[in-house]
Amino acid sequence: MQHITPEEAHAAEDSILLDVREPTELEQARIDGALHIPLGELVARLDEVPRDRPVHVICHVGGRSAQAAQFLEGQGVEVANIEGGIVAWYRAGLPVVLGDET
């Protein structure tokens, strides 16, 4: 499975950011434009994952996104796990919507 840093994922121009966290986690922090499919729903919603461009998967710190990336890779999706999750994304100073910000 491929891994990518938050900075590399943010700089990628033709990719999809897939957030596999739970809806309650999104209420705390989210990334605008990310596709949200909770890990527990990924198998049932697989057809929503684009296959025409790379998919970069993110969760809180990287564990669930690694599971999702491994599954997607087995389905033939070009995928990479974002190292450190949204925690590393935030610490890198990349754009995050916190709480109820719009």
Residues serving a catalytic function are 59
- Alpha-carbon distance of 79 to 28, in angstroms, equals 25
- Alpha-carbon distance of 85 to 67, in angstroms, equals 13
Please report the DSSP string for 53-97 in residue order: S-EEEE-SSSHHHHHHHHHHHHTT--EEEETTHHHHHHHTT---E
- Alpha-carbon distance of 22 to 45, in angstroms, equals 14
C-beta separation of 96 from 9 below 8 A? no
